[in-house]
Structure 1
Amino acid sequence: MRFLNVALIKLCLVFLLGVLIGFYAEFSSGSIIAIFGTALFLFIFAFIRATKNIFQDVFFEITAYLVFFCIGLVTVYLHKPENQPNHYIHYAKNANSEDIIKVTITERLKDGFYAEKYIAEASEAHKNLSEEEKFSRKKLTGKILINISKDSADLNLKVGDELLIPADLEEINQPLNPYQFNYRKYMENLGVLRQIDLSKSQIEILKDENWQFKALAEKWRNKSISSLSMYSFQPEEMAIIQALILGNRREISTETYENYAAAGAVHILAVSGLHVGIILLILNWLLRPVEFLPKGRYLKMAIIVLLLWGFAFIAGLSPSVIRAVTMFSFLAIGMQLKRKTSALNTLFMSLLVLLLINPYYIFQVGFQLSYLAVFAIVTIQPKLYNLYVPKNKIPDYFWKILSVSIAAQIGVLPLSLYYFHQFPGLFFVTNLVLLPFIGLILGLGILVIFLALINALPHFLAQFYGSCIAAMNRFVDVVAAQEVFVLDDIPFSALITVLAYLLIIFGIILIYKLNFRNLSLFLIAIIFLQLGLIFEKFHFRQSEALVFHKSRGTVLGFRNNDTLTLFTSENIQSNEELFLKNYKVATKADTVISKKMHNIYNFTGEKLLVVDSAAVYNFSGFKPDILLLTNSPKINLARLASETDLKQIIADGSNYRSYVEQWKQTAENKKIPFHYTGEKGAFVSSAKSD
């Protein structure tokens, strides 16, 4: 690849390694200072030594890598909440019920079933609030998840609003079933460590006007949405316009989102690198005459970067938009300066800058998918395109689109399978049809919003644009309806994902330089991927018994290798319950058998007794090892425990909480381990197969 700066890319990769190790290893402040100080000293020594040597050796290079590795460590250390003295997690340890925290709303999330969700930034803690005393204030930092019950929805909170809320923050709930989506981890990766559930009476709004830049961006976005609502757009059309151009996906229905995912077009619904890249190409073409002015290339560069960030402002300055605009701002500068540099250099430089600003980006799915897609397009697409070069412009145009789509899909495929367990087989059809028009839809959409803001949007233009969006939705619906081409429930673990990317990387190296060494590395990557698949196949060859957590229901699971048998208190299908579907996919359980509940089970070698609302537990000659309480049975647990030799008591999600608390106290008095699935999650017992 021409003009590739290998040294720069190596430094970025070493920095990336430092970031990853910084997250998974614990360092004290003293050790971080010692490590970074030593690395810096060695680098300065190596630099001075290198200036005096005619021939350079490897020592200077090693110390440079060491410094960048340490910069990654330090970056993560400084961003970790536990290392920030003013972070609210330190204050919350000693907070009492009278304390109040001042926060500013920074982002509104998609609503839950019962609550509106917001992310707020803490700024101050107020102690001893009273008429006689002044506020005792302490500066705070850190993001908080705020859940406001929907019966308080008339508050109409906006980004930038400042609130006073109680200081009794809670930890975000852990998943209660194996392989379930970990919402706590997801929020931690956004920098949110605590949450609070509030009603209207618990909130005091200090002011609803805030002139922070992000608040102004949100205000303009809301104004744009309000202006568009004055025209005759259908609800689904309006939802797609908001997502496509304004970065607001809250209004998209679940059915529409799933259809776009099944058609391989879900990337269209999130303002990301695709949108910003298309806008960059449009601006580069429109502003070509500026190049003829004195210093026109620099002026054009400044205008393009300014307009890209203007688009980010209109889209609400969401994290995904900021990441995409930052990445393409680097590319725009490189394009206009005409420097002899590779797009990969620019890509890795933007990666370095973004992770220096916020290393938590590395765990965010959108960030990972964006960079992997662009990386694959830059490296794979040119080689793929050269396999067949059409002579006519029209076939050449569509072949470019297809080669870009295939390259991007190769880049994101392992990660998509890992996160979503789905592969849209008709993605190339969707992209071939939609991508040629996305530029038109984006450009026209920005024009429509601008004209709507100044009350100058002709109704015929609004109707035409609405019909374009409706046609796109209908096409996506038709593609998504071809269910035979949608491969779902594909098991793909983190180990297999890493090995698959090793295979892709060594494959890219091989196609650029075919030699024995690169071929060997590629073949070794294939062998490791096969070994990983074999390892996982034997890893899940075991017997496992589980009491799943289900609110107001009972589900027992017995897995023997790839066969899962479910015993339920009602007719539950594994594909209808998301927690069962996730478990089935992760453990590669191909066969699922559903049966009705009964009272006695062999629970991986131990005797399990189920006592339900009928409260029948006296079976002649049967002495259980494990007791499962379901549907709030009215029993004397102390007497039952005295009559048996119980090793474990389990209560699932079908019981009243008051009953669970009584049973928990009884179990403690009897010194019997007690497991409530609503607190500790599913009860799992494993035994290796013979």
Structure 2
Amino acid sequence: MRFLNVALIKLCLVFLLGIFIGFYAEFSSGSIIVILCTALLLFIFAFIRATKGIFQDIFFGITAYLVFFCIGLATVHLQEPKNQPSHYIQNAENANFGNIIKVRITERLKDGFYTEKYLAEASEVYQITSEEEKVTSKKLIGKILINISKDSADFNLKIGDELLIPAALEDINQPLNPHQFNYRNYMRNLGVLRQINLSKPQIKLLKDENWQFKALAEKWRNKSISKLGSYSFQSEEMAIIQALILGNRREISTETYENYAAAGAVHILAVSGLHVGIILLILNWLLRPVEFLPKGKYLKMAIIVLLLWAFAFIAGLSPSVIRAVTMFSFLAIGMQLKRKTSAVNTLFMSLLVLLLINPYYIFQVGFQLSYLAVFAIVTIQPKIYNIYTPRYKIPDYFWKILSVSIAAQIGVLPLSLYYFHQFPGLFFVTNLVLLPFIGLILGLGILIIFLALLNVLPDFLANFYGSCIAIMNRFVDLVAAQEAFVLTDISFSAFITVLAYLMIVAGIMLIYKLNFRNLSFFLIAVIFLQSGLIFENYHYRQSEAVVFHKSRGTVLGFRSNENLTLFTSEDVNPANELFLKNYEVATKANTINAEKIRNIYNFSEEKLLVVDSAAAYKIPGFKPDILLLTNSPKINLDRLVQETNLKQIIADGSNYRSYVERWKKTAENKEIPFHYTGEKGAFISSAKRK
């Protein structure tokens, strides 16, 4: 690839390695300082030695890599809450009853079934001394997840609002079933370690005026939504417009979102690199006359970057928009200056800057997908395009779109399979039809918002734009309806994802330079991927029994290789339980049978007794080793233990909590292991059912 700065890319990769190790390894502040200072001194010495030409060796390069590695470590160390003295996890005493935390709303999340969800940044804690009724304040930092019950959340919090809330912070719940989505890890990757559940009476909304830049952006976005709401857009049309232009996906229905995902067009619903890239191309074309002015290239570059950030402001300055605009601001600067540099260099530079600002971006799905898609487009697309050269402009235009779509799909495919477990087989059809018009839809949408804010938007133009959105929705629905082309429930682990990207990188190196080394690297990567798939198939070809956690229900599963047999209580429909679908996908299992739960099960060397609300446990000649309690049976557990020789007691989510606490104390007194699925998650045993 022309003008590719390999050294820059290697330095960025070493920096990334430092970030990953910083997240997963423990380093004290003192050790980080010593390591970083030592690396800097070695680098300075190597630089002086290299400039004087005393020695010609690789010492200078090694010290440069070491410095970037240490910068990655230090970046994570500074951002980690455990290393910030004012963070709330370092001030556990502030969670005492009577203390109050002052927070500022920073982001509105997608609502839950019963709660509105917000992210907030703590600023102060007010400590109340009950004896003297004295109030003292102390600086406090850290992001908090705030859940407000919907029946009391009628005051519609906005970005920038300051609140006083109780300092009763709780851990974010972990998944209670195997292979279930881990919301705690997801929040941790956003820098959020605690949550609080509130109702309206517990919240004091401060009336202070807030002029934060992000709050102003959110205010303008809400004003834009309000103005658009006065026109005759249908609900789904309005939801798509908000997502497409304003970066607000909260109003999109689940059905619409799933249809876009099945059609391979879900990237359209999030303001990301696609949107910003198209806007960049439009601005670059519209502002071409500026180049003829004195210093026109520099003026054009400044105008484009300014307008890109103006679009980010209109879209509410959400994290995904900020990331995309930052990335394409670098690309815009490179385009206008026309320096002899590769787009890959610019891409890695923007990656370096963003991760220096917030290393947590590396774990966020949108960040990963955006950079992988752009990287694949700038590296793979030219090679795909050169396979066929159309003679006429129209076929050439569509061939460019198709080659871009294929390249982007190659770049994000392993990660998409890992996160979403499906592949839209008709993605190329969707992109061939929609991408030629997406620039027009984006440009017209921005114009419509601007005219609506000025109260001069003609009804015919609003109706026309609504019709365009409706046609796009109908086309997506039509593609999504071709279910035979949507491959779902694809099992793809993190380990296989890494191996797949290793093979993709090796393939890119091979197509750019066909030599023995690159061919060997590619073949080795293929062998590693095949070996990983074989290993995982062998790993999951085993038997296990699982007592799943189900609130107000009982689900018991027995898996033998790829076959899964379920036993459930009458109020449970296995087909409707998402946690069972996640388990099947992850373990590559298929449910071959679903039956009503019985009272007795035999394991290889152990016997399981299920005691439900009927409280029937006296079975002649049957001495259970494991006891499963369901539906809150009224039994004397102490007597049952005396009559049997139990090795394990299990209580699932169908029991009253008060009963569970009583059983837990009995088990502790009898020194019998007790497992409550509502606390410890599903109970998993490798024993095989007979």
Query: TM-score over 0.5 for the alignment?
Result: yes
Instruction: Name the CA shift for 1:455/1:132 in 2 (closer, same or farther; >3 Å).
Output: farther
Instruction: State the shift of 1:667 in Å.
Output: 1.3
Does 2:415 correspond to 1:415?
Answer: yes
CA distance, structure 1, for counterparts of residue 145 and residue 202 of structure 2: 15
Change beyond 3 A, Cα 1:55–1:33: closer
Render the CA deviation track for 1:325-382: whole Å, top value 9, x for unaligned. Answer: 0000000000111111000000000000000000000000000000000000000000
Shift of the alpha carbon at 1:140?
A: 1.0
Q: CA–CA distance in 1 between the matches of 2:543 and 2:250?
A: 42
Partner in structure 1 of residue 680 of structure 2 = 680
Cα contact 2:543–2:686 (8 A) shared by 1: yes
Within 5 Å, which residues of 2 pair with 1:400-479?
A: 400-479=400-479
Note the 1:598-637 alignment, pairs <5 A: 598-637=598-637
Identity of aligned residues (%): 84
Taking a change above 3 Å as real, the CA distance of residues 531 and 126 of structure 1, as seen in their structure-2 partners, is same
**Segment of structure 1 superposing worse, 72-81 or 153-162:** 153-162
In the alignment, what sits opposite 1:594? 594
Map of 1:660 onto structure 2: 660
Which position in structure 2 is the counterpart of 1:293?
Answer: 293
SS of equivalent residue, structure 1 residue 155: coil
Q: Secondary structure at the match of 2:576?
A: coil
Decide whether aligned partners of structure 1 residues 289 and 129 sit closer, same or farther in structure 2, where only a CA change above 3 A counts: farther
Query: 639-648 vs 243-252, which deviates more?
Result: 639-648
Kept in 2, the 8 Å contact 1:574–1:592? The answer is no
Whole-Å separation in 2 of the counterparts to 1:553 and 1:542: 26
Q: 1:388-438 CA distances to partner (integer Å, 9 max, x unpaired)?
A: 010100000000000000000000000000000000000000000000000
Deviation (angstroms), 1:151: 1.2
**1:657 maps to amino acid:** R
The TM-score, its normalising length taken from structure 1, stands at 0.98
The Cα offsets for residues 520-541 of structure 1, whole Å up to 9 and x where unpaired, read as 1111111111100111011111
* Residue aligning to 1:544: 544
SS at 1:125 equivalent: strand
Match of 1:249 in 2: 249
Residues in 2 aligned to 1:55 and 1:380: alpha-carbon distance in whole angstroms: 39
Distance 2:375 2:432 in 1: 21
After superposition, give the CA deviation of every residue in 1:578-607 in whole Å (9 maximum; x if it has no partner): 100000010111343212211011245311
| AA of the residue aligned to 2:308 | L
TM-superposed CA distance for 1:664, in Å, is 1.2
The corresponding residue for 2:518 is: 518
Tell me the residue number matched to 1:483. 483
Aligned to 2:84: 84
* Corresponding residue number in structure 2 for 1:532: 532
In structure 2, what is the equivalent of residue 267 of structure 1? 267
- 8 Å Cα contact 1:227-1:453 kept in structure 2: yes
Q: Which amino acid aligns with 2:319?
A: P
Return the letter of the residue paired with 1:174: Q
Please state if 1:161 is matched with 2:157.
Answer: no
Deviations 1:532-572 (A, max 9, x none): 01110111111101100011110001111111110111275
Residue 562 of structure 1: aligned partner: 562
| Structural RMSD (CA) | 1.5
Residue 135 of structure 1 deviates from its aligned partner by: 3.1
Comparing 87-96 with 611-620, greater Cα deviation is found at 87-96
For 2:592, what is the secondary structure of its paired residue?
Answer: strand
Residue 575 of structure 1, CA deviation? 4.0
Question: Compared with structure 1, are the counterparts of its residues 278 and 129 closer, same or farther at alpha carbon in structure 2 (3 Å cutoff)?
Answer: farther
State the match for 2:146 in structure 1: 146
Which residue of structure 1 lines up, in the alignment, with residue 581 of structure 2?
A: 581
Per the alignment, residue 21 of structure 1 pairs with 21
The range that moved more, 507-516 or 53-62, is 53-62
Does residue 11 (structure 1) correspond to residue 17 (structure 2)? The answer is: no
More divergent stretch after superposition (330-339 vs 122-131): 122-131
Confirm or deny that 1:313 pairs with 2:313: yes
Contact persistence 2:8–2:345 (CA under 8 A)? yes
Conserved in 2, the CA contact under 8 Å of 1:243 and 1:249? yes
Question: Partner amino acid for 2:657?
Answer: R
SS at match of 1:159: coil
State the SS of the aligned residue for 1:595. strand
Structure 2 match to 1:112: 112
What amino acid sits opposite 1:638 in the alignment?
D
CA deviations over 1:209-262 (Å, ceiling 9, x no partner): 311011001000000000000000000000000000000000000000000000
8 A Cα contact 1:562 1:589, kept in partner: yes
> Which residue identity is paired with 1:146?
I
Partner of 2:504: 504
Q: Does the CA contact (< 8 Å) of 1:610 and 1:627 recur in 2?
A: yes
More moved, 548-557 vs 87-96: 87-96
User: Alpha-carbon deviation of 1:133?
Assistant: 5.3
How far the C-alpha of 1:41 sits from its partner, in A, is: 1.3
Distance in 2 of aligned mates of 1:32 and 1:453: 51
In the alignment, structure 1 residue 219 sits paired with structure 2 residue 219: yes
Q: CA deviation at 1:647?
A: 1.1
Taking a change above 3 Å as real, the CA distance of residues 131 and 160 of structure 1, as seen in their structure-2 partners, is farther
What is the CA-CA distance between 1:618 and the residue it aligns to? Answer: 0.2
Greater mean deviation of Cα atoms: 495-504 or 582-591: 582-591
> Aligned partners of 2:627 and 2:657: how far apart in 1?
17
CA deviations on 1:592-636 (whole Å, 9 max, x unpaired) are 321221101124531110000110000011111111000111111
Q: Which amino acid aligns with 2:569?
A: S
Q: Distance in 1 between matches of 2:604 and 2:499?
A: 33
Amino acid at match of 1:485: F
Consecutive unaligned residues in structure 1, runs of 5 or more: none
Shift of 1:208: 5.8
Classify the secondary structure of the residue corresponding to 1:339.
Answer: coil
Provide the rounded CA distance (Å) in 2 between the counterparts of 1:246 and 1:77: 34
Deviation at 1:663, TM superposition (A): 1.1
Could you tell me which amino acid in structure 1 is paired with residue 543 of structure 2?
S
Do the aligned partners of residues 8 and 154 (structure 1) sit closer, same or farther apart at CA in structure 2, a change above 3 Å counting? same
Q: Look up the equivalent residue of 1:509 and give its one-letter code.
A: M
Q: Give the distance between the partners of 1:215 and 1:672, measured in 2 at CA.
A: 55
Taking the aligned partners of 1:371 and 1:604, their CA distance within structure 2 comes to 50
* Counterpart residue identity of residue 581, structure 1: K
Structure 2, unaligned runs of 5 or more: none
Deviation at 1:55, TM superposition (A): 6.1
CA distance in 2, matches of 1:191, 1:172: 12
Determine helix, strand or coil for the equivalent of 1:102: strand
Q: Answer whether contact 1:542 1:688 (CA < 8 A) is retained.
A: no
Question: Do the aligned partners of 2:320 and 2:366 also contact (CA within 8 Å) in 1?
Answer: yes
User: In structure 2, what is the Cα distance between the partners aligned to 1:689 and 1:632?
Assistant: 25
SS of 2:144's partner is: strand
- The question of whether the paired residues in 2 share the 8 Å contact of 1:160 and 1:208 is answered with no
Secondary structure at the aligned position of 2:594 is classed as strand
Q: CA deviation at 1:65?
A: 0.4
- The number of equivalent residue pairs is 690
Paired AA for residue 84 in structure 1? Q
Q: Residue type of the partner of 2:267? A: H
1: CA distance between counterparts of 2:492 and 2:524? 20
Alpha-carbon distance change, 380 to 179 in structure 1, aligned in 2, over 3 angstroms: same
The 8 Å contact of residues 603 and 689 in structure 2, kept in 1 or not, is answered as: no
The one-letter amino acid of 2:315's match is: A
Opposite residue 101 of structure 1, the aligned amino acid is I
Deviation, 1:129, is 6.8
Q: Secondary structure at the match of 1:654?
A: coil
In structure 2, the CA distance between the partners of 1:536 and 1:376, relative to structure 1 (3 Å rule), is: same
CA distance in 1, matches of 2:548, 2:208: 44
CA 1:208–1:149: 2 relative to 1, 3 Å: farther
Change in 2 beyond 3 A, CA 1:474/1:208: farther
Moved more, 514-523 or 656-665: 656-665
Could you tell me how far 1:57 is from its partner in structure 2?
A: 1.5
